[in-house]
Amino acid sequence: MTLEEFTAALGRDVSRETFARLEAFAALVHRWNPAINLVAKSTLPHLWHRHILDSAQILGHARDDIAHWADLGSGGGFPGIIIAVLLAQDSPQTRVTLVESDQRKATFLAESSRQLGLNPVILTTRAESTRPLAADVISARALAPLPRLLPLIALHAAPQTIALLPKGAGYQQELAEAAADWRFTSTAHPSITDPKAVILELRNLTHV
């Protein structure tokens, strides 16, 4: 994917320096994936569309004045590292925290951050046992269904926190199941990478 194709698909300006960082990260994923399985092998040929662009679109649904972004279950860096790269361009003062309990994947996140010149805080713990982060924005991609995910978000939320969660075609069923124990305001933003998927925006999360 070229810079022009990426910016056109994303609908926002991306500098050549930022795009070069994304290219460097893509190369790292290809290099490490055989040993750690950062992403499904079948998706590697579609890494830019399936993982990088899919992660990058999340930032477009966050407000501009973000002090602290927390990504739960960061895995291979999607979306956490991608968000950190884009924030380094658009909002370098924003703190980024990546929570990943798998030691090997956390090592990959740390080495990738070092090589890309990023400085996120990387916590090698499970989200449920991590100290409350009080983040302005919380993201989590393919971590858990909403009924299991919302307690983690609530733990790390502040009063005005928004959660931005990529979800597939079954998101409405997840919302219905989560509504049994939680109250929240939800908005489903269409995904630019999958017509059946959405970026689920949650606000005002409270336990019943």
Q: How far is CA 183 from the centre of its chain?
A: 23
What is the rounded distance in angstroms from the CA atom of residue 21 to the CA atom of residue 16?
9
Q: Does 128 count as an annotated binding residue? A: yes
Q: Does 11 count as an annotated binding residue? A: no
CB atoms within 10 A of CB 191: 18
Q: Does 73 count as an annotated binding residue? A: yes
User: Any idea what DSSP says for residue 181?
Assistant: T
Tokens of 136: 């302005």
Coil, helix or strand for 55? helix
3-state helix, strand, coil in the chain (%, to 5): 45, 25, 30
Closest listed residue to residue 74, CA positions, set 90, 51, 57: 51
What is the rounded distance in angstroms from the CA atom of residue 172 to the CA atom of residue 195?
15
Annotated binding site: 73, 78, 127-128, 141
Annotated binding site for S-adenosyl-L-methionine: 73, 78, 127-128, 141
